[in-house]
Chain A
Amino acid sequence: MSTTTEQAWKPLSRDGMAARAARDIPEGWYVNLGIGVPTLIGNHIPAEREVILHSENGVLGMGPAPEKHKENPWLINASSQRISLRVGASLVHHADSFAIVRGGHLDLCVLGGFQVAENGDLANWSHSPKEVARQIGGAMDLAVGAKRVWVVMEHVTKDGQPRLLRRCTYPLTAGACVTRVYTNMAVLDVTPAGFKVAEIIPGMSFSELQARTEAELLR
């Protein structure tokens, strides 16, 4: 006879994480959303809240995904998905787009991550210096340039390994850049003393969260 352990909690879905992060983005911010779950955040910002979304390929003022018959083949985002423009949007070339990024003009960028360290180091582009695949894109510029860097990622890897670490083991994207992490189990602030838990999903205890985290968590 098999026994099933009743788990009192359910991790957030990809959309759940995106929705949770979207709640904390106030009107008036200029925001870049990275590839993957961060891109989904755009769908959870209500249209009446004026948040201006930047895309690294030179778009400032991205709107929601267009309806099929209204698609413009000349408008795409950093994930190569077709987009719409909000009224008031503007288009720039790549050097200006990265002046926006690197020049400290973005209030926030939200990136995906492989690992985040307790001092805010981020690794999100490569698993090893020996790897052929090197997928830097705009991540290093965003990580050093935006006023705030949030990371949205699953709390542990597919095989259960922690992603919130004392030190990253993968090649860094940037050092000490992350200010906040949204996972499918918790919201954590990066503080000078380490990860401070701001929120845990319903039904999960602090010790259950700690058990899935390599770095020591602060209450």
Chain B
Amino acid sequence: MIDKFVRSMAEAMDGIRDGSVVMIPGFAEVGAPNALIDGLIEQGATDLTVIINATGKPRVAGAKVTGFARLVELGRVRKVVTSFVRAGSVCGDAVKAGTVVAEVIPQGTLAERIRAAGAGIPAFYTPTGADTLVAEGKEIREYRGRRCVLEEAIHADVALVEAWMADRWGNLVFRGAGRNFNPLVAMAAELTIVQTHHVCDLGQMPAEQVMTPGIFVDRVLHLPVGDPKLPI
């Protein structure tokens, strides 16, 4: 019997090595696997390369640093691939200090590079960024009269995923705008770990409504963590 459910955070995080490439989905707090990030902090892997859409808001005096920013603050991140770095954020400060290297790329290119990895496409040409700093050092070719940049797939060792509902095969449904990068990172990693709000029996999720099929999922941890917080 296939059962991808794990019973503890320690079991969910087991085997994540130093130097891993880790994908973290989410848009603001929606669809962000915050409990799994806390688990990764606890687990201790370091020297990480993190693939994440946005690297956090500027620091707020007195506010607790959590999630990805906490991972950076603890010195566990060596490189980040992202579409957004803000001045005055924990990550922005680390980039300024030279302790974190940031590769900042367009959001659609980020999504497609992740999708390409999962789909077995090693690289693709996109018109996005062709006339910009993003194209520096990259191969340019003209297609249908437009300059296009060669962009490579991004593979990960580990993907952390936030689902609304999961069954024991790892079939997933996401809620609202919480889908965002989740189905993409699930496809692109060697090890895909899911936190889910709800659990259902096999067959309860109508086949037509499965958003990520279990083939892309390795471990599922049931964590009813509640609704995403209001953005600050």
Contacts and interface: CB of A to CB of B under 8 A. Distances in A.
Decide whether A and B are members of one complex: yes
Interface of A: 55-59, 72-76, 80-82, 91-95, 97-98, 101-102, 121, 126, 129, 131-141, 144-145, 171-175
Given A132-B95, A137-B83, A137-B84, 15 more contacts: A59-B177, A74-B228, A76-B177, A80-B27, A91-B179, A93-B179, A93-B180, A93-B184, A94-B53, A95-B114, A95-B184, A121-B131, A135-B85, A138-B106, A174-B128
Contacts of A75: 30, 176-177
A81 B231 CA distance: 7
Contacts of A134: 84-85, 102, 104
Given A72-B176, A91-B176, A136-B84, A145 B231 contact: no
Interface on chain A toward B: helix, strand, loop, or mixed SS? loop
Contacts of A94: 53, 107, 111, 179-181, 184
A133 B85 contact: yes
Please provide the 10 A-B residue pairs with the shortest distance between their CB atoms, ordered closest to farther.
Answer: A74-B176, A98-B108, A141-B108, A175-B131, A80-B231, A134-B104, A80-B28, A133-B87, A140-B106, A73-B227
A135 B176 contact: no
The contact size tier of chain B is 35 or more
B152 to A, nearest CB: 16
B222 interface: no
Contacts of A129: 133
Nearest to B58: A133
28 contacts: A57-B27, A57-B177, A58-B27, A74-B228, A75-B30, A75-B177, A80-B231, A82-B230, A93-B179, A93-B183, A93-B184, A94-B179, A98-B107, A132-B95, A133-B87, A134-B102, A136-B134, A138-B83, A140-B109, A140-B128, A140-B132, A141-B108, A144-B127, A144-B128, A144-B146, A172-B131, A174-B128, A174-B130
Nearest to B176: A74
Most buried by B among A74, A136, A144: A136
B111 A74 contact: no
A95 B111 contact: yes
Contact of B30 (A73, A102, A137): A73
B39 interface: no
B128 A141 contact: yes
A212 to B, nearest CB: 27
Nearest to B89: A133
A88 B13 CA distance: 40
